[in-house]
Chains A and B, each alone.
Chain A
Amino acid sequence: MAKKAKKPPQGDGNKFQKPRNTKATFSRLLGYLGRSKFLLLLVFVFVAFSALAGIIGTSFIKKITDEILMPVIGQGITSELLAPLVKILISLAVIYVLGAISSYAYSRIMLQVAQRTLNIIRKDLFDHMMDLPIRFFDAHNHGELMSRYTNDADVLRECISQSIVQLVSSVVTVIGTLAMMIYFSPVLTLFVIAVLFLAFFIIKALGKQSAKYFRMQQQCVGDVNGYIEEYIEGLKVVKVFCHEDNAKKDFAVINGRLRHAATNANTYASILMPIMGNISYISYAAVATLGSLIIMTVPQGSFFSLTVGALFTFLIYTKQFFQPITQISQQFNNIIAALAGAERIFEVIDTPAEEDDGYVTLVNARKNAKGEIEECSERTGMWAWKHPHGDGTLTYTEWKGDVRFHDVTFSYDGKKTVLKNVSLYARPGEKIAFVGSTGAGKTTITNLINRFYDVDEGKITYDGINVKKIKKDALRRSMAMVLQDTHLFTGTVRDNIAYGKLDATDEEILAAAKLANADSFITRLPEGYNTMITGDGANLSQGQRQLLAIARAAVADPPVLILDEATSSIDTRTERLIEKGMDKLMEGRTVFVIAHRLSTVRNSNAIMVLENGEIIERGDHDDLIAQKGKYYQLYTGQFELD
């Protein structure tokens, strides 16, 4: 099943993707932010205040130069003259201090809001993911899913923690500055607005070019990273075939393409700042000239008149005015990227969760004096299906482990039929084996038994109960799987075995490990059962990992066991060593075995030979050998499996 998913090229591939449904995503994101409504309101207030403090402060400078200093130049310093200066500086200081305090306040609150929102989004995403059906994991590539937690969440966090504040602050600054500019000189303001339109035009033109080259760059980054991955992973083959020079040559070509695109993308992205900055200087110069001319030519008191102080202040506003405009245009890109990321996250959250309409559960049971089955809380080694009825009554059916397929037909994609009219039965305690080439449908059968997938036609019964009526948790708890690809989790060896039964005692774990013949290698590990396993057990051999997986199943102690190529990575000699343990593990359980190696399935009660989704032969080993059919051919090595 689990084909190794090819990782998509890393990088910010999704960063410049446009969201498809901006409005819906935006309002949904607002919903998440809405959980911190009150805090956000505070942020707005503080941001606005902090921005205004800067603007008001600048207007005070006008007051000082115009009203206090101008009239008294050359009069010599007297305390009388300084008194109003002291007064105004004190109020300026108060405004500034309040401004700085509010900017700390909004940063601190915003940090909280951003982290909290991301925390909730991550949690929702993970919780929902855990409830998704296996079909989802089979259909999606892991690297792509991971990028929702990394790339997408990062872009989103950056946007929430920066863009909101920046936008509010920029808008307040622009409006406030504009108001002040109009107040000081409507004529000069008109001029600045004219320049602003020119600036908008430039921003738009640059943005278009920038977007084009960024897309090109992302494409090239994908190509280069893909090539790097392929050729570094395949480096040993490259060496064996002396293919190094070709690889270098080819790489230089695609790397050159990347350089071209990246140079342009980077140019357009970073050229905005000097252009906008200098436009503000040009308007600064123009305003200074224009303003001076007005001062000199227009008589004081008329509508167009201007004072020297007003011109000074206006000039400072002119410089201030263009900065937030540049900011807004830059934030806009971030917001688009964040919305695209959010949309990808929501897409996963919106995938329908695994349905479970089952109501029959599996409970520990014992027989009372009258011989009736009774539910009990402790482990008795006996289990019963608890079957609630519409009228509120309960019936208990003893668990036996009888699994039957009745004319089961199944397809993963609705097109290609994987199983066709499969009927089979496994009586309690029997060992049923499936043999066949890849794609014959062996693993599919196990996928259906524990309802990773549901049958399209026909039905599967478990002790006579349709599996669809059994709660999935109960169904899966009643069977343990040992899969072809063993997966271990970060934690100690003990933790990994206990994954089968979280509250397992040390004795139980030891017993399970011994049963799986894993004890001997575990005790040789540097820290025995407390050895940390990292990176999916990279420090263990494939065989050792499989032994741990078997131990994990053993400690779960379930009534039904599914072994999907459980011993494929263990060499034939070692397999013989654990055979006894496996036999013991299988004792008294209903077991489904899928194996490539026929020695593993030989002693099964029944062997099903699958081909193209159909059972073509069935019987025990001797029967099948006697039939001289496909199994016989396989057994004698005349036929290819795979």
Chain B
Amino acid sequence: MLKKLLAQTKGYRLYSLLSPLLILVEVIMEVNIPFIMADMVNKGILGGAGINYIVNTGLKMVIMALISLAAGAGAARFAAMAGMGFGANLRNAVFSKIQDFSFANIDRFSTPSLITRMTTDINTIQMGYTMVIRIVVRSPLMFGMAFYYAYKINSELATVFAIAAPFLLLLLAGIFSFAMPRFKKLMKKYDGLNASIQETLIGARVVKAFVRAIHEKDKFRISNDELKDASIAAEKFVILSGPFMQMTVYGCTIAILWFGSQLVISEKMELANLTAFITYINNILMSLMMISMILVMSTMARTSLNRVGEVLNEIPDINDSHADPSLLVENGDIDMEDVCFKYKKNGKKNVIDNINLHIKSGETVGIIGGTGSAKTTLVQMIPRLYDVTEGVVKVGGRPVADYTLKNLRDSVAMVLQVNLLFSGTIEDNLRWGNEKATQEEIENACKIAQAHDFITSFPDGYQTDLGQGGVNLSGGQKQRLCIARALLKSPKVLILDDSTSAVDTATDAKIREGFKSNHGDVTTLIVAQRISSVQHADKIIVLDDGKINAIGTHDELLATNEIYGEVYKSQQTGGIE
């Protein structure tokens, strides 16, 4: 999985390498400066090498600092380019991957989870990557070089670090092993509190209507206090790291002063080297602290890595692998042979159970049935939004998998239950059906869908912006736009999944008439709650619990089918829905 993620550094690998390289330069300079300073003091001042030597050495130091500055700034820039570039690539890759998902893939992840993965998780990874480039190289380098120079100055004295470093590491490891589980608990509490606030926000009316403000306040007080306690319980370990670090630095300072002084007195080490040594204490221990922090952070980022990796690893389960690209849908015949379907492969019950169905090109077929009778599932298998578990679905006499998804879906238009329009103008949205449609074609489709009149009633007409702050469309208007959008595809098969539920019966009838006179050769499938939407169909399928209960015309079913009769009766007493 890491391989897939790292593949997304493409185009930014040079920067990802340059940055640590420059950091290497920066660190070499940084570590050398105290070393040179010690030399300057020793030879120049104490050793009497003269002013020239001092000025020369000083200049050397300034130049080194300038090199270090340039390297540091360059490293920051390249790290930003690499990190943000990686992030952008990753976002593109994940977005493209999600675009290729089938409905089943989407269901497996759920929409909100996909959104979090694309936003929060990728952000975490992108920041993490930038940090890694800069610190993961910097800290061990700093640690190693400072240690090396300390060793070079005086190997005996360097033993102090050899003892202090593992000691500090152990302390930090101890702290984090105590803190981590408590932080996990804290995060849960935090999520819980946020979820409950959200609930009260959404349900504010219910809270008010039942006069439950005090109840909610009490509930909140408890979780709020719990959150406070959990925060303190977790963080009280983390705050130990500062003082521990300090203690170690201080301890090293005293030890070095004690042993170093003796070395200086007995002339085994130069005085200036003692000061340089003390500078290294900070370098060594700080980088150690950074390393441990990175380790902790990387365990946190791993969750995000996994979550994004899962998306990239998901194989879109509906693809063109068996398709013949040259094959086009010839006509609107639809055949289902022994079709069974379940959403989860290991699910017990078939959602669609052994359905056989033959629809001739140009026929209008109604599908009716109660909630949960799998009406939507059935029609979604025609444009291959889901693949059958068993059996075969044919369009135009060929199994749907023989066509490329593009060819199939261009010929099988479907208006979904959820009427989604995208930000942009009305025309932009309609053009989803056909990018090259002429104004006349667009208006024609809207006229059939009974949308033209209300569109032209808007001041901006077809150019009305549907985005935020744009016009508010009613449910019925949205549905009609969605129908027009589908009609623009000039499909061979048109599927309306409860697409006129918010349209009144009279308009509904006009739309159906429009289909008949303009698209008479198009096979039309109408999934509906309302009997009036299907009663004029060539045949009506009554679905019950994933099985075909009956097929027939309105009159036949009314006479013979119990379910159909019941639904009809329940709607006769109040004809609106």
Contact = CB atoms under 8 A, between A and B. Distances in A.
Interface in A74-129: 74-77, 81-82, 85, 89, 92-93, 96-97, 99-101, 103-104, 107-108, 111-112, 115-116, 118-119, 122-123, 126-127, 129
Contacts of A635: 574-576
A641 B576 contact: yes
B115 A476 contact: no
B254 A96 contact: yes
A571 B370 contact: yes
A25 B205 CA distance: 31
Contacts of B194: 146, 149-150
A263 B84 contact: yes
3 smallest beta-carbon distances between A and B, as pairs: A274-B72, A599-B574, A289-B58
B247 interface: yes
Given A111-B235, A288-B37, A483 B205 contact: yes
Contact of B130 (A73, A252, A266): A266
Given A111-B236, A258-B88, A599 B503 contact: no
B414 A292 contact: no
Given A112-B232, A285-B58, A100 B504 contact: no
B439 interface: no
B476 A640 contact: yes
Given A127-B217, A150-B194, A285 B474 contact: no
B308 to A, nearest CB: 13
B106 interface: yes
Main DSSP-derived SS at the B contact region: helix
Interface stretch (B393-401, B548-556, B564-572): B564-572
A82 B92 contact: no
Contacts of A367: none
Interface in A463-515: 472-473, 476-477, 479-481, 483, 487-490, 499-500, 502
9 contacts: A126-B197, A130-B217, A232-B111, A259-B87, A289-B61, A292-B44, A293-B55, A502-B212, A598-B574
A364 interface: no
A326 interface: no
B257 interface: yes
B162 interface: no
B201 A142 contact: yes
A285 B77 CA distance: 26
B346 interface: no
Given A92-B257, A263-B80, A130 B213 contact: yes
B69 A279 contact: yes
A24 interface: no
A300 to B, nearest CB: 13
Contacts of B220: 123, 126-127
B451 to A, nearest CB: 13
B99 A282 contact: no
Contacts, number: 437
Most chain B CB inside 10 Å of its own CB: which residue of A101, A137, A556, A572: A572
Contacts of B91: 224, 251, 255, 258
Interface in A203-243: 224-225, 228-243
A636 B103 CA distance: 39
B430 to A, nearest CB: 11
Given A295-B45, A296-B45, A282 B66 contact: yes
A252 B95 CA distance: 9
Contacts of B65: 278, 281-282, 284-285
B204 A81 contact: no
A146 B195 CA distance: 10
Main DSSP-derived SS at the A contact region: helix
Nearest to B472: A3
B574 A600 contact: yes
Given A100-B246, A104-B243, A236-B416, A487 B202 contact: yes
Nearest to B79: A270
Given A146-B197, A473-B211, 6 more contacts: A2-B205, A130-B200, A267-B81, A274-B69, A288-B40, A572-B567
A542 B385 CA distance: 24
A500 B115 CA distance: 35
A638 interface: yes
Interface in B443-469: 468
A282 B254 contact: no
Contacts of B79: 266, 270
Contacts of A85: 258, 261
Nearest to B198: A146
Contacts of B416: 236-237, 240
A64 interface: yes
A232 B98 contact: yes
A266 B84 contact: yes
Interface stretch (A29-37, A310-318, A386-394, A420-428): A310-318
Given A118-B228, A146-B197, A639-B504, A69 B130 contact: no
Contacts of A65: 271, 274-275
B409 A262 contact: no
A131 interface: yes
Most chain B CB inside 10 Å of its own CB: which residue of A57, A278, A472, A490: A278
B100 A244 contact: yes
A248 B62 contact: no
Given A69-B271, A76-B266, A248-B99, A277 B208 contact: no
B228 A637 contact: no
B159 interface: no
Interface in B224-255: 224-225, 227-228, 231-232, 235-236, 239-240, 242-243, 246-247, 250-251, 253-254
A241 B433 contact: yes
B475 interface: yes
B304 interface: no
B75 interface: yes
A278 B44 contact: no
Interface in B41-73: 41, 44-46, 51, 54-55, 57-59, 61-62, 64-66, 68-69, 71-73
